[in-house]
A = this chain, B = another copy of it.
Amino acid sequence: MSKYDPNLDQCFSALGDPTRRLILQRLARGEASVSELAAPHDMALPSFMEHLKKLEVAGLVTSKKQGRTRTCELAPDAFAPAKKWLSEQSEIWEGRLDRFDDYVKNLMQERQK
């Protein structure tokens, strides 16, 4: 059984905001600077930056600064932990897991720590 993972808190919470999901949808199509990302959003830049910061803290986005421009991109396998948690629950619900699968899952989770 998946134990409590504090990173999932930040990850799912980050996904719970429409502005942040739109940022991710944009970044799925390729990297972009802060101002490019902010342009479609009718919001002061510091407010917008807070959203970017949450996405980074959640491990969904990475960024690097070159000169005065910060470029953001989707983190590698950004959505993997969230998808994994959801799939595990679905599988348990659908009754697809037998005891052996459960055992393997736990083992792999332990090793990832």
Contacts and interface: CB of A to CB of B under 8 A. Distances in A.
Interface string A21-43: 11011001110000000000000
Contacts of A2: 25
A75 to B, nearest CB: 10
Interface size, A (range): 35 or more
B16 A1 contact: no
A74 B89 CA distance: 10
Given A2-B25, A9-B17, A25-B2, A86 B82 contact: yes
B30 A6 contact: no
Contacts of A8: 15-16, 18, 21
A95 to B, nearest CB: 9
